[in-house]
Amino acid sequence: MSQACGVDFGTSNSTVGWHRADQPALLTLEQDKVTLPSVVFFNAEDDEISYGRAALANYLAGYEGRLMRSMKSLLGTSLIDGQTEVLGKSVPFRGLLGQFIGELKKRGERAACQSFDCAVFGRPVHFVDDNSKADQLAQDTLEEIAHAAGFKEVQFQFEPIAAAFDYESRISQEELVLIADIGGGTSDFSLVRLAPERSHLLDRRNDILGNGGVHIGGTDFDKYLSLTHIMPLLGLGGRLASQIEVPSSYYFNLATWHTINLVYTQKVWRELQDVYRDIQSSDVRQRFERLLNLVEDRDGHWLAIKSEEAKILLSDQESIQLSLERLRSKQPSAPCSLMLDQDGLQQSIAHLSSDIGRAVSQVLQTAGVRPEQVDTVFFTGGSSGVRSLRQQIAAIVPDARKVEGDLFGSIGAGLGLDAARRFA
């Protein structure tokens, strides 16, 4: 058994991989689940901290407090060196990330009944697009945070390469594989030559023909789904008496996980009241009242969860009826709901899909590989379930076999394998 683990600290979900012969590749982190949603809830009523599904459940149950999610998105931004208010105290963002990674470590060790001093952490191909210095700083920051959380030795592996190692453990012959890892915060692609007889090698640089990616992922799909279809129910696109549009910044902040709390300040609340007084249309006033009530009730995270829920449901269904029961106005009306379908989802994320498709084509071009030479596309990452996006990627390499890995576990499993090889 390896004395080292692999840590997939994800934007939306996290896993811990541990390689043991004939044993599951992932450790259980919450009840019987191997994934831990990357969520922290600071309960102001009970002065407690909860993580993962428990954190979401406590928040949705209506407990007073602060919900933090998509914390990985802070890496590579100026916000990582800032602070935020949690239960009346100013807390550094670095400390919040360290707290969650420390919880991952503790839960992994409890499941393994042993300590882990060494770890291979997954990282996106690009924390920051087109800025190598900022990208390296983001990795260095994550390494510092991991050390502070208790890991003595930390190494890194590209997340799609880790997924490739997991896939390689299950094939019987050599394949040229395009790893498509669509996660919560990034979309990463690697073109890798895999073969069972090469899986034991520590140095696989010659087998990596190309890699690339963009800083676009599932939280961006959620954001633009919300802005296109949900936020108009709260007044986005409506006009003031002067015929200029209602300011969009409030809606963009509400649709972005790590900026939702910016809408809850007293300054913004006064601005919203001023905007409301300047709306003449009864229809726009009614929709804007929903926004006022949402902000007053601090239900922004609930709304973001509903947008994510819609995206997930549309991965399997042609159309859905999304219940938005917490949206209310002064006028008595039926509970608010929204009909969404595949075309609506595609409409809202079309510009993101195009950027992702270009990234795939760029990887092939840089590697000097023709589309027909690719044997397999291996899909991993929770957001690779978005149907239209998967179809777009598959169309770039139409002759390749399409294989779906463990959407939430392939990276963690591969990191566990990599950790066993590196720290053996």
The pLDDT profile of the chain, 424 residues, written as one tens digit per residue, is 568 999 999 999 999 999 988 889 999 999 999 999 999 999 998 889 999 999 999 988 888 888 998 899 899 888 899 988 888 888 999 999 999 999 999 999 999 999 999 999 999 988 888 888 999 999 999 999 999 999 999 999 999 999 999 999 899 999 999 999 999 989 999 999 999 998 888 778 889 999 899 999 999 999 999 999 999 999 999 999 999 999 999 999 999 988 898 999 999 999 999 999 999 999 999 999 999 999 999 999 999 999 999 999 998 899 999 999 999 877 666 678 999 999 999 999 999 999 999 999 999 999 999 999 999 999 999 899 899 899 999 999 999 999 998 888 999 999 999 999 999 7
> Domain check: are 132 and 256 in the same one?
no
> Domain check: are 233 and 96 in the same one?
no
Tell whether 10 is covered by a domain.
yes
> Domain check: are 307 and 412 in the same one?
no
> Domain check: are 258 and 113 in the same one?
no
> Domain check: are 244 and 136 in the same one?
no
What range defines the domain where residue 337 resides? 219-347
Tell whether 47 is covered by a domain.
yes
Burial of 265 (0-12, 13-18, 19+ CB in 10 A): exposed
Q: Of 331, 347, 363, which marks where a domain is finished?
A: 347
Q: Of 347, 373, 396, which marks where a domain is finished?
A: 347
Tell whether 56 is covered by a domain.
yes
Tell whether 28 is covered by a domain.
yes
The CATH number of whichever domain residue 127 belongs to comes to: 3.30.420.40
Tell whether 181 is covered by a domain.
no
Q: Of 347, 366, 390, which marks where a domain is finished?
A: 347
> Domain check: are 24 and 105 in the same one?
yes
Tell whether 160 is covered by a domain.
yes
> Domain check: are 268 and 414 in the same one?
no
Instruction: List, as own/partner pairs, every contact residues 338-347 make where C-beta atoms lie below 8 angstroms and the sequence separation is at least 24, other chains included.
Output: 338/229, 338/230, 338/233, 338/310, 340/225, 340/229, 340/310, 340/314, 341/314, 342/314, 342/318, 342/387, 342/388, 344/228, 344/229, 345/221, 345/225, 345/310, 345/311, 345/314, 345/386, 345/388, 346/388, 347/228
Domain count, the chain: 2
